[in-house]
Amino acid sequence: MAPVIGFAGFSGSGKTTLIEQIIPFLKQQGLRVGLLKHSHHDVEPDTPGKDSYRLRHAGSDQLLLATPHRHILFFEYPEPAQREPQLDACLQQLDHSQLDIILVEGFRDQPIAKIEIHRPDYGKPLLYPQDEHIIAMATSEPDGNHPLPVLDLNQPEQVAEFILKWSKQ
């Protein structure tokens, strides 16, 4: 199974931006990168009127849309408001034989290794004191004194290097 590392932080802290900057660096190192993103919002990644949209809305519980460029797997849940996705189930849906590392955005409370994204100027509390699974912190003010590795949020290469070293342990 590919190593899994999460990114934890409050909304607006810069998780997506950091991951977007890290992925190209990891790719340059020859890694095959998987990404699992959790969202509390309902999103529609399909185009109304297209065949896949019509078939999904006709009642299929799962639909795999396969093209020469990509595969898209849809799972439909009858009562989404009562069912949060489970991290383990989502990870099992990825083809680990084709991945070298999996990045997870969201699933903040899950027991996986995580990098905390923290911006002190947002006024939000630190997560790592209550989460033993946070192994490093990427922050906009890296000069603080903390009992875990502190990375500069504005230097994504530094965060990517940390991930590379961690993944080889």
pLDDT of residue 43 exceeding 60, the answer is no
- Which residues are paired to 117 by β-bridges? 138
At 44, the pLDDT band (50, 70, 90 cuts) reads low
Task: Looking at the structure, tell me whether residues 69 and 124 fall in a common domain.
Answer: no
Domain of 78? 47-83
pLDDT of residue 76 exceeding 80, the answer is no
Task: Looking at the structure, tell me whether residues 92 and 79 fall in a common domain.
Answer: no
Cβ neighbours of residue 148 closer than 8 Å, sequence gap 6 or more: 128, 134, 135, 136, 137
Task: Looking at the structure, tell me whether residues 65 and 146 fall in a common domain.
Answer: no
Task: Looking at the structure, tell me whether residues 78 and 89 fall in a common domain.
Answer: no
> What pLDDT, on a 0 to 100 scale, did the predictor assign at position 90?
86
Task: Looking at the structure, tell me whether residues 69 and 96 fall in a common domain.
Answer: no
Instruction: Please state the pTM of the whole predicted model.
Output: 0.86
Is residue 6 classed exposed, middle or buried when 0-12, 13-18 and 19+ CB atoms within 10 A define those classes? buried
Can you tell me the distance from the alpha carbon of 145 to that of 126, in angstroms, rounded to the nearest whole number? 13
- Which residues are paired to 73 by β-bridges? 64
Task: Looking at the structure, tell me whether residues 90 and 21 fall in a common domain.
Answer: yes
Token representation of residue 92: 């099992």
